[in-house]
Chain A
């Protein structure tokens, strides 16, 4: 028969594992946020090449940018390209904003980069090639700053979250013991 002490010990281990996992998840989210912004920056660079040098229609340019991009940014571009190709009545801005909102709902976009990309989506595909290139460059510039900020925050806070998860769990267990 399992003793009460063993159950308590198992519960304590599970609790510490759970809080540690929460800490790790929070730390990973910080890394994901920074990585997402870097991926978007890189994808916008490819999009700029497709628009500026190839003059490809946006759905095609987004699909090609998606092909050469990694992670969630690539998925976001691919979905935007698919929706844009399928629905003649939607504008690129609407399609891109919908994809952005989904990423924000996943907790991967803070308010500032979200508003940068939201503003970008309003002008997407709606002006001359030169204007599009300027828009892309300005957006990338801002995103790079945000990505650097997110990276700094990750370096600064990820260990904190890891330790906080582990030590917080241990502290609660000790207090309850």
Chain B
């Protein structure tokens, strides 16, 4: 008999399995529990084998009759279930290529892009969906917290978290926000304003953060980062402003303005090392104006969230590095 999925504690089992068609659900439930709980992503590609991503590689799932080939109907049903049969209500998100699910998980999709006036209007005939399982790791930022907070001055240093995709940037940012908001280092926490453009950090669903971002965190989501940061600066009097995946010229301008206003910024960016972002014009301008004091470089060398180095950007020196640290 299939277990009551709503009572299970693992987020994949509790939040994601109920959205999957029965055949696929059975295959995933057929995996060893330990492997299931290490699964980072489930991929359904119409006409191709069902795949899960775990331990750094994608593997195809097989049943008794060999590899399960995903049908277009299964992809359709998954998208319907994920959107609560309300694809139209998620249009803005779908235009960006994803839907945030209850529990903060993300369903990315690919299919036929409908382009109007050079901009993606919608994605139709969806042929692939990738469900990324969001798992909170409380304490993920513990190793870097002392480098981010100046405990004596009771001040947060503006910090950029840098890594290639799937190395734990967002997880670490979320835990940093939570720690600062809770006041993990010292009694009173900081007021944090989070601009969560793609709802990845707080994973707000119907207005309520699904992830623990702390009691003193105000979340503005679904809003362009540059506009959102300035809006929160004016409206919510934050001590710290945080956002995910900065990189545009507008982001750079907003961050410069915020740091000049005396508010610390926590942000993430794609890049394997500091030199990568210094080569990008928009990021270079942020670094040049000294908006960030610290840069934490992450990798997944010893698993997601491995801290490769921490730089003091004012002096350009490593303040921590060489030895591997896990967040």
Q: Which A residues have a C-beta under 8 Å from some C-beta of B? A: 51, 55-59, 61, 84, 88-93, 95, 124-129, 131-132
Contacts and interface: CB of A to CB of B under 8 A. Distances in A.
Interface stretch (B78-86, B166-174, B185-193): B78-86
A93 B20 CA distance: 16
B261 interface: no
A110 to B, nearest CB: 27
Contacts of A92: 80, 85-86
A125 B85 contact: yes
A125 B86 contact: yes
A152 B189 CA distance: 72
Given A125-B80, A127-B124, A128-B91, A89 B18 contact: yes
Interface string B8-24: 00000000001111100
A132 B88 CA distance: 8
Contacts of A57: 84, 86, 89
Contacts of B84: 57-59, 84, 125
B81 A89 contact: yes
Contact of A126 (B21, B22, B85, B122): B85
Contact of A128 (B20, B85, B122): B122
Given A91-B80, A92-B80, A129 B91 contact: yes
Nearest to A88: B18
Given A125-B84, A125-B88, A128-B87, 5 more contacts: A125-B86, A125-B87, A126-B80, A127-B87, A129-B91
Interface residues of B, number: 19
Contacts of B89: 55-58
Chain A CB within 10 A, most for which of B77, B81, B89: B89
Interface in B285-316: none
Interface in B35-83: 76-77, 80-81, 83
16 contacts: A55-B88, A56-B86, A58-B85, A58-B89, A59-B85, A88-B81, A89-B19, A89-B81, A91-B77, A92-B80, A92-B86, A124-B85, A125-B83, A125-B84, A125-B86, A125-B87
Contacts of A91: 77, 80-81, 85
Contact of A84 (B85, B87, B88, B91): B85
Contacts of B88: 51, 55, 125, 127-129, 131-132
A73 to B, nearest CB: 19
Contacts of B18: 88-89
A56 B18 CA distance: 22
In the A-B complex, list the 5 residue pairs whose CB atoms are closest, starting with the nearest: A92-B85, A125-B85, A129-B88, A88-B18, A57-B86
A128 B85 CA distance: 11
Contacts of A125: 80, 83-88
Contacts of B83: 125
Contacts of A55: 88-89
Nearest to B88: A129
A90 B19 CA distance: 9
Interface in B193-240: none
B10 to A, nearest CB: 16
A57 B205 CA distance: 12
Interface string B91-129: 100000000000000000000000000000010100000
Nearest to A95: B85
Contacts of B76: 126
A145 B77 CA distance: 32
A91 B124 CA distance: 17
Nearest to A55: B89
A92 B77 CA distance: 10
Nearest to A59: B84
Given A91-B77, A92-B80, A58 B86 contact: yes
A95 B20 CA distance: 17
A88 B14 CA distance: 11
A58 to B, nearest CB: 4
A8 B124 CA distance: 72
A129 B93 CA distance: 13
A40 B34 CA distance: 50
A120 to B, nearest CB: 13
A84 B124 CA distance: 23
B288 to A, nearest CB: 42
A131 B121 CA distance: 13
Of residues B20, B77, B87, which shows the largest number of chain A Cβ atoms within 10 Å of its Cβ?
Answer: B87
B3 to A, nearest CB: 14
A48 to B, nearest CB: 11
A128 B88 CA distance: 4
B44 to A, nearest CB: 15
